[in-house]
Structure 1
C-alpha cells in the first residue's frame, strides 16, 4: 500500500476537497494495540492496487496525533475508534468500520459502488 501520512489538521480539508474527484480512505492506527496491528497487516496483505486504482490512502498514527483523530470524528460525524477505517467521498464519510470489521473486500465493495467506469 502506498500510505500518505496524516499529520496535520489542514490535510483533513484537503481530504474533503480531493474526495470530490476520487474516494479517500483513512486508516486510524494505534501503535499500542495488537488488534490495530493485525488489522493493518491484514489490510496491507490483501490490498490490490489494480482493483482499487484511484483511491488515495491515508494512515493516521493516533498515538502521535490523537488531536487529528478527534478532528476526524467531528468532521465526518463518526465515533472515534481504533483501529478504524473511513471512506470519504464528496466530503462526507460514506463508510466506516473498526476492529475486526476492517476488511479489504468491504472496502472494495464500497469503492466499486462509488466509482463508475
Structure 2
C-alpha cells in the first residue's frame, strides 16, 4: 500500500531539512501552511532562534480580503520587509514538504517581489 498524503509530505520535509540549514549569513525561510492560514519564519539554525516572522493571522494581515493565494503573497511581502529591517537579504527557502505550487509559490513570489533573495 502506498503512502498517505501526510506521510509523503513528512518524508519530503525530512529530506529538505537534511540539506536546508540556516546560518547567520543565510538564514532559513520556513513556511507552514494549514488549511486556513499560512505562516513564515526566518530562522537562524546555528543559534536556534527566530529572527522574523509573519502570518496571515497578524493584525495588519488578518483584515486583508482576497483569496488564500493573494493573502499568502501579502505574507511573503510582510516577511521580506521584516527581514530587510533585520538586515537579512538572502535566505534558504524551506517549503516544509509542500509542493512549490499555489499558496507556497505565491508567498515565495511575494517575498521575491519585496526584495528577498533565495
Report TM bin, short chain: 0.3 to 0.5
Q: Larger relative CO (CA 8 A, sep 6+): 1 or 2?
A: 1
Whose radius of gyration is greater, 1 or 2? 2
| TM-score, normalised relative to structure 1 | 0.36
